[in-house]
Amino acid sequence: MDSISIFAPATVANVACGFDIFGFAVANPGDQIILNRRDEPGVSITDIIGDDGRLPRETARNTAGIAIQTYLQHIGRTDVGVDVVLHKQMPLGSGLGSSAASAVAGVYAINELMGRPLPVMSLLPFAMEGERLACGSAHADNVAPSLLGGFVVIRSYNPLDVIRIETPAVLFCTIVHPDIEVNTKDARFILKNEVSLKNTITQMGNVAGLIAGLMTPDYSLISRSLVDVIIEPVRAILIPEFNEAKQAALDNGALGCSISGSGPSMFALSRDAQTAERVGAAMQQAFLSVGVTSEAYVSEINRQGPRVVEL
Amino acid sequence: MDSISIFAPATVANVACGFDIFGFAVANPGDQIILNRRDEPGVSITDIIGDDGRLPRETARNTAGIAIQTYLQHIGRTDVGVDVVLHKQMPLGSGLGSSAASAVAGVYAINELMGRPLPVMSLLPFAMEGERLACGSAHADNVAPSLLGGFVVIRSYNPLDVIRIETPAVLFCTIVHPDIEVNTKDARFILKNEVSLKNTITQMGNVAGLIAGLMTPDYSLISRSLVDVIIEPVRAILIPEFNEAKQAALDNGALGCSISGSGPSMFALSRDAQTAERVGAAMQQAFLSVGVTSEAYVSEINRQGPRVVEL
């Protein structure tokens, strides 16, 4: 095989009560990467489409580039040369795991191109290297669901312990990305370092309820558990009309609604596509009421992770 | 029916990472209650066996008495009269939900005696009244698993949201009760009101892992998740040789080991009866090394809650 094209899904991290430990993948949007083998060794980013020139083209500074390079070093194939074309098909810095999707697409693609020497699960550390480059730390709550699909718990980082949770067969996600910027570092900075024991217990109860709700599955329990008493109340101030958009989602039948990653995108879960569409329209309307335009994405949960795209 | 005898199981609350939200019931020990209808109205505690005279005999001050009385008022049958005999078959103030087992046995028994007008789940508030009397607040993390059996999550108190979690078909519990006293109020008092965000996230990861591990079931995941970074490190100082007893449990094959309720009892979970027995002996030996005697109980998880005992 000399060429391959891979789609890797966008992801919702945090998922209301699950700050830093939960994430899930959506069927749409996501990133597409194309790798072409060439004669001389080295990884070269030959083109990036859809980023308005904002992403670095140098391999060592690009999340997909570094993931591919780290992988090739690991398997001892620095003799291999690939040209990389990245199609960004989702907004950057939106809280949808844009850097993670690129890194996952890259490492999944190179593993396929090399004849799949490593199982998918062991690709995670290479994708996390991309996250280290993009975010300053090797977070897994976007790369893990993008790579594995479905709903994923990061139980521990040291040692890394990633658990895939069974997801209801029918579950739809609405993502609304308001056209504003939230700096990830600001979103971290405003969090308090201390949490009351009372709120910790409430959050633990919701975490337990959400996992049980997903695995049973029990939509009502999922809905009751999609509550964040620690992070959302602090970060909501970074998103104009957050409360109104959330209320609009709930009023229109969403199981729950919260911030995707560190924002500004918001996500909502629904039992059917029609509800998810209605929820998206209502949330967009809430943003529009204060003059903020937005994009809405409605899709099923992605259950498979990355997939090959016909060239 | 004029007489009935009911056994209600002891319970392990908190369960490592699940402070205030998890609890499970064990097949042994537990409390037994006998109700006999009599002609004149009123609830009368006629005898308590096995408490060394430590429990109040007045109905309004006895956890079983108050649970039965509250129940009869609720169903509008204050015309009914019952004599109550309570057989305490477990240590008091040991962290095994002694007051909860008595209250659950009482309310389950009176509901059976009255021809079961209420479903089991709706008996919970009456048993919680017994807990309010015994502990000063209407905790549910002992009464709920004692009443429902198995492994239970208290997701929320307001409104009360109790979720029964599927438990592995094969799972054994070792309980070791060292012969020392820990005051429940002291055990609360030494806890800090604030938790670091970092520890909150670690605990949430373990809560998620424990629920997923139980429901899958995945013994290795259960084992990795039975970790408490918030409460156990603080309360361990109240139990002499805690670290040694815990290490002895793990060294002998326990999946995990922590404090039962607010102590001083400790619990360990194991995959088979033989391991659970060995774990108990090793833990008792650790206590004995500093001159502390103890009782050990080894049993399966109780899955059914209370049961009728032949008179």
- Neighbouring CB atoms inside 10 A of B223's CB total 19
Band of the pLDDT at B96, cuts 50, 70, 90? very high
Please give the span between the terminal C-alpha atoms of chain B, in angstroms, as a whole number: 12
- For residue B187, the model assigns a pLDDT of 82
H helices present in A143-216, as ranges = 143-148, 184-189, 197-215
| Domains of chain B, earliest start first | 3-165 (3.30.230.10), 172-300 (3.30.70.890)
Give which of B17, B19, B22, B155 to mutate to test A binding, by max A Cβ within 10 Å: B155
- Name the 3-class secondary structure at A180: coil
Give which of A20, A160, A207, A222 to mutate to test B binding, by max B Cβ within 10 Å: A207
Q: A285: burial class by Cβ within 10 Å (0-12, 13-18, 19+)? A: middle
- For residue A39, the model assigns a pLDDT of 87
* Residue B66 main-chain phi, psi, to 5 deg: -70, -35
* List of residues 6+ apart from A73 with CB closer than 8 A: none
* Mean pLDDT, all residues of chain A: 95
Sign, Cα dihedral of B241, B182, B20, B254: positive
pTM of full prediction above 0.90: yes
- The whole-angstrom distance between A277's CA and the closest CA on chain B is 30
Residues B195-218, mean pLDDT to the nearest whole number? 98
Residue among A200, A206, A230 minimizing CB distance to B155: A206
The label of the residue with tokens 């998740």 reads B225
- Token readout for A79 is 């003799």
pLDDT at A136 over 80: no
Give the residue numbers of A annotated as catalytic, written as ranges. 131, 184
- For residue A224, the model assigns a pLDDT of 98
Please give the span between the terminal C-alpha atoms of chain A, in angstroms, as a whole number: 12
DSSP-assigned beta bridge partners for residue A26:
A301
pLDDT digits (tens, 9 = 90+) for A278-306: 999 999 999 999 999 999 999 999 999 99
Beta carbons of B231 and B191 less than 8 angstroms apart:
yes
CA distance A308 to B16: 43
pLDDT at A24 over 80: yes
pLDDT at B181 over 90: no
* List of residues 6+ apart from A112 with CB closer than 8 A: A1, A4, A6, A308
Q: A217: burial class by Cβ within 10 Å (0-12, 13-18, 19+)? A: middle
CA distance A109 to A34: 8
CA distance B24 to B252: 22
